């Protein structure tokens, strides 16, 4: 193959050349020269042509793409500094919140940054600040619209992923009923007030339960409502943080009852802790449903229940205040005895 700078060596005619051979030899040399010229074109000229085609294609692609350096105002976004000009008080509180980090989100662009990430493009509002219809306002929006706005960013979070099926969502509870991006009283989660006072705003029935003699110490601040419940929804009833055995919320603190045990107490694994205990508060020790432990046990352990063994005949139920758990001390489960003696 011919390369740049090489010379084509054409041998001289042999001595004794005869005129009869001229036509054939002339055709041979012309064909050879044409072949060399074609090779030289593809080797030397084609790269420049290919390069020109590549540059032309890149130019067409660049023109088809939006200009990332174009000013944001062309799409209706003016940036957070424009908002600060009039709303400095809101900006100062917003600057201290978790949402302020959206101003650093350069990957998704101005539609997910700062004030306009929630309120939408602000160019028309800046041009006509007296018209409230030029910017989205959460104050006048319905609970569903507000929730949809918030979920557009938060729906992928593990805490919020079940919000659409939550009791709060079905009852038109807005995100702003519990959270405030600008005027939060609690830095964590931007809550409008601290737990449990925030939950008591709606859940008045549960408030006196935590005032009973025996209760989880929610009012004392040692336990919070969200430790056991997910306000944004779960797949279980009452928005409880639970597992298939209905006991995950309890065993997070009461780990000694977790097991697994060689001999399981079936209600613990089937019905959960609430089969015997009242979780919020109770007048009975250990948050039991009844004051008499025997009555609680006999609610299952009678002859009317085929799967639960009844009380043996030698048990003296006349001893009214003698608890079953005095003998069956390992009632949550045992690794040694199927009667839970030890």
Residue 326 has pLDDT above 90, yes or no: no
Least-confidence region, from 307-311, 331-335, 336-340: 307-311
Among 241, 274, 307, the domain boundary falls at 241
147/234 same-domain check:
yes
**What's residue 207's pLDDT?**
94
Answer yes or no: is 178 within a domain: yes
DSSP state of 306: S
**What's the structural domain count of the chain?**
3
Of the pLDDT bands very low, low, confident and very high (cuts 50, 70, 90), residue 124 is very high
- Tell me what pLDDT residue 190 has: 92
pLDDT tens digits for range 128-179 = 998 988 999 999 999 999 999 999 999 888 899 999 989 999 999 999 999 9
Whether 149 and 211 map to the same domain: the answer is yes
Q: Is residue 248 part of a domain?
A: no
Does one domain contain both 270 and 319? Answer: yes
Task: Tell me, yes or no, whether 225 and 147 share the same domain.
Answer: yes
* Of the ranges 100-109, 169-178, 320-329, the best mean pLDDT one: 169-178
Examine the domain organization and report whether 204 and 294 are in the same domain.
Answer: no
Q: Does 51 score more than 70 pLDDT? A: no
Could you tell me if residue 21 is inside a domain? no
Specify whether 158 is located in the same domain as 233: yes
**257 inside domain:** yes
Which two structure tokens, joined as six digits, stand for 207? 């408030």
* Across 10-19, 96-105, 181-190, least confident range: 10-19
Q: Count the alpha carbons within 13 Å of 276 in the hemisphere toward its beta carbon.
A: 23
Q: Which pLDDT belongs to residue 31? A: 73
> Which pTM does this prediction carry?
0.69
What is the pLDDT, as a whole number, of residue 54? 45
CA torsion sign for 309, 314, 319, 325 is negative
Gap between the terminal Cα atoms of the chain: 94
Q: Regarding predicted confidence, which is higher, 270 or 102? A: 102
| Percent of the chain whose pLDDT exceeds 70 | 73
Query: Do 130 and 147 share a domain, yes or no?
Result: no
Q: What is the pLDDT of residue 257?
A: 86
The number of angstroms, rounded, from the C-alpha of 14 to the middle of its chain's C-alpha atoms is 88
pLDDT band for position 281 (50/70/90)? very high
The answer to which of 15-24, 136-145, 249-258 has the lowest mean pLDDT is 15-24
Predicted pLDDT at 316:
67
Domain co-membership, 329 together with 257: yes
Domain assignment present for residue 40? The answer is no
Is 342 contained in some domain? no
At which of 113, 134, 155 does a domain end?
A: 134
Residue 112 domain-assigned? Answer: yes
Query: CA–CA separation, 93 vs 90, rounded Å?
Result: 5
Averaged pLDDT of the chain: 80
Would you say residue 216 has pLDDT above 80? yes
CA distance readout (Å), 337 to 327, 330, 331, 341: 12, 9, 11, 6
pLDDT per residue as tens digits for the range 298-317: 888 876 555 666 666 667 66
Considering the domain architecture, whether residues 149 and 218 belong to the same structural domain is answered as: yes
The CA-based dihedral angle spanning residues 211, 213, 216, 220, taken in that order and rounded to the nearest 10 degrees: 60
The CA-based angle 121-122-127, given to 5 degrees, is 135
**180 and 266 part of one domain:** no
User: What is the residue range of 323's domain?
Assistant: 253-334
Same domain, 209 and 267: no
Q: Is 258 in the same domain as 228?
A: no
Average pLDDT over residues 223-233: 93
pLDDT on residue 70: 41
Domain boundary among 105, 134, 163: 134
Q: What is the pLDDT averaged over residues 253-277?
A: 85
Q: Which of 303, 252, 246 is nearest to 277 (CA)?
A: 246
CA distance 122 to 45: 55
> In the predicted model, is pLDDT for residue 20 greater than 60?
no
Higher pLDDT, 120 or 21: 120
pLDDT at 74: 55
Q: Which of 96-100, 314-318, 322-326 shows the lowest mean pLDDT across its residues? A: 314-318
Q: What is the mean pLDDT of residues 265-271?
A: 82
What pLDDT score does 69 carry?
37
């Amino acid at each position: 193959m011919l390369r740049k700078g090489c010379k084509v060596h054409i041998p001289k005619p042999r001595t004794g050349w005869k005129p009869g051979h001229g036509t054939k030899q002339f055709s041979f040399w012309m064909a050879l020269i044409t072949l060399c010229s074609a090779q030289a074109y593809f080797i030397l000229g084609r790269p420049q042509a290919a390069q020109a085609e590549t540059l032309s294609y890149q130019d067409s692609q660049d023109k088809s793409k939006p200009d990332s350096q174009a000013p944001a105002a062309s799409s209706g976004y003016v940036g957070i500094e424009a908002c600060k000009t009039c709303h400095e008080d809101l900006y100062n509180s917003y600057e201290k919140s978790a949402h302020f980090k959206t101003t650093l989100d350069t990957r998704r662009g101005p539609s997910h940054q700062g004030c306009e990430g929630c309120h939408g493009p602000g160019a028309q509002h800046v041009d006509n600040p007296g018209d409230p219809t030029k910017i989205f306002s959460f104050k006048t929006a319905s609970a569903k619209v507000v929730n949809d706005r918030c979920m557009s960013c938060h729906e992928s979070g593990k805490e919020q992923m079940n919000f659409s099926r939550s009791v709060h969502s079905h009852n038109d509870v807005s995100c702003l009923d519990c959270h405030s991006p600008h005027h939060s009283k609690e830095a964590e989660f931007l809550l409008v007030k601290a737990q449990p006072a925030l939950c008591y705003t709606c859940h008045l029935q549960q408030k006196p339960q935590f005032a009973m003699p025996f209760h989880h110490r929610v009012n004392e601040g040692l336990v919070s409502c969200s430790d056991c419940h997910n306000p944004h929804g779960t797949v279980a009833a009452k928005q409880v943080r639970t597992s298939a055995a209905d006991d995950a919320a309890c065993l997070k603190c009461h780990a000694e009852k977790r097991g697994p045990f060689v001999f399981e107490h079936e209600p613990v694994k089937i019905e959960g802790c609430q089969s015997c205990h009242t979780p919020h508060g109770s007048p009975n020790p250990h948050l039991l449903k009844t004051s008499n432990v025997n009555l609680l046990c006999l609610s299952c352990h009678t002859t009317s229940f085929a799967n639960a063994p009844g009380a043996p005949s030698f048990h003296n139920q006349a001893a009214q205040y003698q608890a079953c758990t005095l003998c069956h001390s390992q009632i949550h489960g045992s690794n040694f005895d199927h009667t839970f003696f030890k």
